[in-house]
Structure 1
């Protein structure tokens, strides 16, 4: 089932400057292409894609550029993805131009996001301890 891009994400992308908009639109197109069953919406003010209610990928505008983040990306073991703070299993990469986006890498990361997931839903119940799903 192919999801269409939510109007809120389209509006988010349209608000960016020309280069950032190109990055956002490319990321949205590729994420929808390789995760067609994923729900997409604005979550915590940023575009996010969910598989079975779990956030897996999203992007946000930072001063350094557009940050593409994977909630379980630290478990992908990909050199281009930089781990977050260490408390969670997120990892990300930042783009300033659409030409920096390697769609082959993105496709591989999105495929990994299907199979490598951590249970953020029960984080509080487990007193901050993350467990891998699947």
Structure 2
């Protein structure tokens, strides 16, 4: 695990820390070719420099977000972005995390991608990569 992500996880309160550690473990295991780092103050995994999945602590809990998740057609990813193609789910306890769902979503994250890394260059216009 990336040392900065480990530090991020360790700073969380007990229940959230367990959620973060479980998510990081599953993401690392299922996206072995991804680069991971703390980006904009929270853990993010990149495929070919394109942000793919990450999590952050927010008021409703730990938010697991997939940048291209709106196109996964997954009812569990029920918090949809308003401007981009992201979709999220919130967790407050590790017992809420269904690793089967996480693994399926991570597989889709590799298969379905929008080009976020060139968003600024394209003046806010997204293009589908896969």
TM-score (norm 1): 0.92
- Is structure 2 residue 127 aligned with structure 1 residue 104? no
Contact 1:38 1:50 in 2 (8 A): yes
Q: CA shift at 1:119, angstroms?
A: 1.2
Unaligned regions of 5+ residues in structure 1, if any?
none
Question: Cα 1:118–1:9, aligned 2, differ >3 Å: closer, same or farther?
Answer: same
The structure 2 residue matched to 1:120, chosen from 97, 110, 116, is 116
Cα separation, 2, equivalents of 1:43 and 1:127: 21
**CA offset at residue 83 of structure 1?**
4.2
Q: Deviations over 1:62-98 (max 9, x none)?
A: 1111000000000101001124332100000000000
- Report the TM-score when normalising by structure 2: 0.95
Task: Output the CA distance in 1 between the equivalents of 2:21 and 2:121.
Answer: 37
Q: How many residues align?
A: 130
Question: Which deviations, in whole Å up to 9, do the C-alpha atoms of 1:19-44 show, x marking residues without a partner?
Answer: 00000000000001101111110000
CA contact (8 A) 2:79 2:89 kept: no
Q: RMSD of aligned C-alpha atoms?
A: 1.1
Residues 17-28 of structure 1: pairs in structure 2 closer than 5 A: 17-28=13-24
User: 2:82 aligned with 1:86, yes or no?
Assistant: yes
User: 1-side partners of 2:121 and 2:79: how far apart?
Assistant: 24
| 8 Å Cα contact 1:20/1:65 also seen in 2 | yes
Q: Does structure 2 conserve the Cα–Cα contact (< 8 Å) formed by 1:83 and 1:89?
A: no
